[in-house]
Structure 1
Amino acid sequence: MALWKPDPTFYPSPRDAASAPPEKLAYVGAFDRAGERHDAIAVLDTDPASAAYGTVVGWTDVPGTGDELHHFGWNACSSALCPYAPHPHVERRYLIVPGLRSSRIHVYDTGPDPLHPQLVRVLEAEELAKRAGYSRPHTVHCGPEGIYVSALGGADGADGPGGVALLDHTSFDVLGRWEIDRGPQYLAYDVWWHLGYDIVVTSEWGTPSMIEDGVVGELLLGRKYGHALHFWDLRKRRHLQTVDLGDEHQMALELRPAHDPTKDYGFVNVVVSVEDLSASVWVWHREAGSFKATKVITIPAEPADPALLPPVLQPFGAVPPLVTDIDLTLDDRYLLVSCWGTGRLQRYDVSDPFHPVQVGEVRLGGIVSRSAHPAHPETPLSGGPQMVEISRDGRRVYVTNSLYGAWDDQFYPDGVGGWMAKLDVTARGELEPDPRFFPHGEAFRGLRVHQTRLQGGDASSDSYCFP
């Protein structure tokens, strides 16, 4: 009699995941800013013992054009081991890859040939609109009972509200809109959860009209972009509470809940303060039965000669950090913070989440600094550390340099190119760029690169039900 066994890359606890074998491949979303060529999934060799280490070893084109691949994720992960919703038959095998501009969702099978993912299904924009009422799918997370896809826009020409669609684990059918009662929530961005507490958290960026042609100065200075967190009942799918960070804190984006399922706190980054151009990181936490948010990291803007700044920043005479991504190690000890504007990648000890201590920093790119990579010290870099992904053991950090096509063009009008870097955490706890891992330029065939997913999971893929 055949026995069902869970996927070996599913781990009951973050500690088990951290002690698993290291990743050997990375999947990276690449896109054509002009929308004329096919976007693609690039596959990179991350095995230091391989002769192809640090290079693109696989490439799969997306069939259409104009998708702008952005965030993507696995169909299933460690949450499948949760005792109330076990799915022993599912595998971490399929990549769910949305096109942020096209609203298409592509499903790629990495099982037969991990180097060349095979397209098995395309969900057209019409299906997402008809079944869930959404457009512009953004973030993908594998939950215990399905695939959660946050979406920025509404359907049938409606700019909003954005929200969350639920897809089936195995058929990939759009099951419908996740929310039963959304309360006051209108803007959308990320979605995550505290499974042990039946709590979902969502964050806010903006509707399609607010982002697709670049940051809109009037909306930013008018404090119209997102600045709140929303808390939901996971099982009842109902809105519970809004926590407003203050409308000067524009664009509350990436959610990084504690991996320890006994904890109900997490981190969120704010891209910019309209009062002083600083960026910030906040911790949400529960007090007396309700959630609150506390600012725990503030990163100031850097003064700069206006002549060196893009037009969008010249009136301010400064470079904002523009914290556009954060990532938390599986042991909940270190938080990586990417400052896409200044080119800084910062590492904080958050053992005490209310009192982070900076313990490392690397500079790559930046609007003014254009800091070079050690492998090519003669070449100034455009763009900066943007999407950041951490290996399960916390020893390796991967960064890519594109934020979003129209926004790239505003802040780096001479182009961002396409580059990816890997940084190692040394025995002294410092970040150190790996000179052997720096694919750039023609490595990505002239496309820009955004998110990275690691084979077998990474620090932002999985949620766990056991401490």
Structure 2
Amino acid sequence: MHKTHRKPLQKLATACTFAAATLAIANISPVNADETCQSPYMAKIVGQEDFIYVWTLGVEGLGDEQDKLVTVDVNPKSPHYGKVVASLSVGGRNEAHHSGFTDDRQYLWAGGLDTNKLFVFDVHSDPAKPKLVKTIGDFVAKSGGVVGPHTTYALPGRMVITGLSNNKDHGGRTGIVEYTNSGDYIATHWTPTDGDLQGANKTGNYADGYGYDLRVLPRRNLMLTSSFTGWSNYMMDFGKMLQDPEAMKRFGNTVVQWDLHSKQPKKIFDVPGAPLEIRCAWGENHNYCFTSTALTSKIWLIYEDKDGAWQAKAVADIGDPKQIPLPVDISIASDDKTLWVNTFMDGKTRAFDISDPFSPKQVYEHKIGAQVNMVSSSWDGKRVYFTSSLLANWDKKGADNEQFLKAYNWDGKQLSQQFSIDFTKEKLGRAHQMVFGAYSLYSQNQPPAQQNLVAAKP
């Protein structure tokens, strides 16, 4: 990490009170609901989402202590609304982190950052009760040394998986790994570094080779990756890491532009301070994506200029950067007018008006809990969901270690809470990432009242 970022991080250590961060489907239904961060290749949900699948970290001494996929009923018309209807443990604690559907949305892939296992769930046979159908245990060997499977993202007939680390030094050098939908390894694409730019244009000071998230804009043949930190940092106690000057140098400062079809890296942008989630605009003429930097508390715009070249620009602050609120997850509205930004340290979500993507304006903020991490918004923009856990060793301690799924309605002006599930009280573990499910995707499994709803790909 660049030396100019050390002082804010030292302030963060002092501040810590804990030891340990288009698509139209069918017009039969009046509401089209889905996570707005999903792959554009993916089938969309018709109607109200029925379930949220929460990928959850096991906690020693709590319940069965294992990572699990927790299914919550989120349809207000259901007698089980706001209740856990299934919980499927996968064996051990793997540092459960992110999950993503295949393009046909029949299977959900979920990764473990510590053990490097990939768990594949059947979510179409019975959406209310997913089944674990495959565990991939040779990810590191097959990929040639990639460690820390993070984003599992759908392309046609295949899954692309970003890594966070490698098995040589457990640092941030990593790559992108491709699999078929059936779980067969295809290829590894290493992120460019100063020592091996792979033909990419280095536009600034950094070519660190780090990885984190991945998103695509197929109409522009664009794939973007962001950067975070390696195994030696994300598995370290948060408080200890903050006090380790060498550890604090080991954070990513780049976003990489790739050719989507060839997987060739094209351009490396300086985006200082650990750019995390990437969210791309949905409008057919909106050629831009957003990311936020965890350590420097800024919103960045990655955009195509008038000459057809891609650029990166910091466009807004998130809260008071001097206080290091630690931005984590972001969610873009389907109309490209609102960007939700969660900040872990103060437990808040903020809504930014992004009608002008070059000048985001904060229009709302709300405290969700003592800590908050992930945010997912429905396709119609009326529902927003939040979970709490960042990493097992980075979550807050004591009473501030709140673990929850919370559901809110959004009327364009304020959030109103609909339900909250205490994952600690229910002995489920640490609630991390969530994705949506619906009967309407799989007509053979729908309740009679929903048999007239069908799903269609974009």
Q: What TM-score bracket applies, with the shorter chain setting the length?
A: 0.7 to 0.9
CA distance in 1, matches of 2:407, 2:129: 22
Q: Which residue does the alignment assign to 1:85?
A: none
Alignment CA distance shift 1:75-1:364 (3 Å): same
Aligned positions of 1:74-223 closer than 5 A = 74-76=101-103, 91-124=104-137, 126-155=138-167, 159-169=171-181, 171-179=182-190, 183=197, 184-215=207-238, 216-217=241-242, 218-219=244-245, 223=249
The answer on whether the counterparts of 1:344 and 1:362 sit within 8 Å (CA) in structure 2 is yes
What SS class does the counterpart of residue 354 from structure 1 fall into?
A: coil
289-298 or 334-343: which moved more? Answer: 289-298
2:311 aligned to which of 292, 310, 313:
292
1:446 offset after TM fit, Å? 4.4
Matched residue of 1:325: which SS?
Answer: strand
Measured in 2, the distance between the counterparts of 1:361 and 1:99 equals 32
Partner secondary structure for residue 151 of structure 2: strand
Q: Is the 8 A contact 2:43 2:457 kept in 1?
A: no
From 346, 365, 368, give the equivalent of 2:369: 365
Q: Is the 8 A contact 1:56 1:443 kept in 2?
A: no
Classify 1:195/1:54 alpha carbon distance in 2 versus 1 (closer, same or farther; 3 Å): same
AA paired with 2:422?
H
Q: How far apart are the structure 2 equivalents of 1:399 and 1:365? A: 10
Deviations 1:54-96 (A, max 9, x none): 111111111x2121211101011xxxxxxxxxxxxxx311110
Change beyond 3 A, Cα 1:395–1:155 = same
How far off its partner does 1:351 sit? 1.3
Residue 360 of structure 1, CA deviation: 2.1
AA partner of residue 405 (structure 1): A
Give the aligned partner of residue 414 of structure 2: 431
1:36-55 matches, within 5 Å, as: 37-55=65-83
Distance 1:34 1:251, change over 3 A: farther
Alignment partner of 1:404 out of 379, 383, 391: 391
More divergent stretch after superposition (290-299 vs 319-328): 290-299
Q: How far 1:296 sits from its partner (Å)?
A: 1.9
Letter in 2 for 1:74: F
Q: For residues 250 and 157 of structure 1, what CA distance do their matches in structure 2 show?
A: 21
**Structure 2 CA distance, aligned partners of 1:202 and 1:261?**
21
- C-alpha contact (below 8 Å) 2:237/2:393 kept by paired residues: yes
Structure 1 95/219 Cα, relative in aligned 2: closer, same or farther at 3 Å? farther
Distance 1:112-1:20 versus aligned 2 partners, 3 A rule: closer
Distance 1:112 1:328, change over 3 A: same
> Which gives a bigger RCO, structure 1 or 2 (Cα 8 Å, sep 6+)?
2
Give 1:29 shift: 0.9
Q: What is the rounded CA distance, in whole Å, between the counterparts of 1:181 and 1:250 in structure 2?
A: 18
Secondary structure at 1:129 match in 2: helix
Greater displacement, 40-49 / 288-297: 288-297
Aligned to 1:58: 86
Identity of aligned residues (%): 26
Over the aligned positions, Cα root-mean-square deviation in angstroms equals: 3.0
- Output the TM-score relative to the length of structure 2: 0.78
Are the equivalent residues in 2 in contact too, given 1:348–1:358 (CA < 8 A)? yes
Q: Compute the TM-score of the two structures, normalised by the length of structure 1.
A: 0.76
Distance in structure 2 (CA, Å) of the matches to 1:292 and 1:190: 18
Distance in 2 of aligned mates of 1:18 and 1:331: 16
2:291 corresponds to which residue?
268
**Alignment of 1:422 onto 2:424:** no
For residues 431-464 of structure 1, what are the alpha-carbon distances to aligned partners after superposition, in whole Å with 9 as ceiling and x for unaligned?
Answer: 32324x111145641411001101159xxxxxx9
CA apart distance, 1:327? 0.5
Distance 1:387 1:10 in 2: 18
**Preserved contact between residue 139 and residue 146 of structure 2 (Cα < 8 Å):** no
Q: CA deviation at 1:198?
A: 1.1
Quick one: distance in 2 between partners of 1:74 and 1:408? 26
The alpha-carbon deviation at position 155 of structure 1 amounts to 3.5
| AA aligned opposite 2:58 | D
Give the total of aligned pairs: 390
- 1:221 offset after TM fit, Å? 8.7
- Give the letter aligned to residue 296 of structure 1: V
The alpha carbon displacement at 1:344 in A equals 1.4
CA contact (8 A) 1:27 1:452 kept: yes
CA distance 1:447–1:237, change in 2 (3 Å): same
Q: State the shift of 1:319 in Å.
A: 4.7
Write the deviation string for residues 171-192 of structure 1: whole angstroms up to 9, x where unpaired: 1112221459772451110011
- CA gap of 1:442–1:52, structure 2 versus 1, over 3 A, is farther
Residue 267 of structure 2 is aligned to residue 256 of structure 1:
no
Deviations 1:182-228 (A, max 9, x none): 72451110011111111110101011112210442345895441121
Q: Deviations over 1:92-144 (max 9, x none)?
A: 111101111110000010122222211111000x3442245312101111112
Output the CA distance in 1 between the equivalents of 2:176 and 2:426: 31
Query: Is the contact made by 1:417 and 1:446 (CA closer than 8 Å) also made in structure 2?
Result: no
Aligned AA (1:41): L
**1:211 is aligned with what amino acid?**
Y
The yes-or-no answer on 1:453 pairing with 2:438 is: no
Name the residue aligned to 1:72.
99
Residue identity matched to 1:25: F
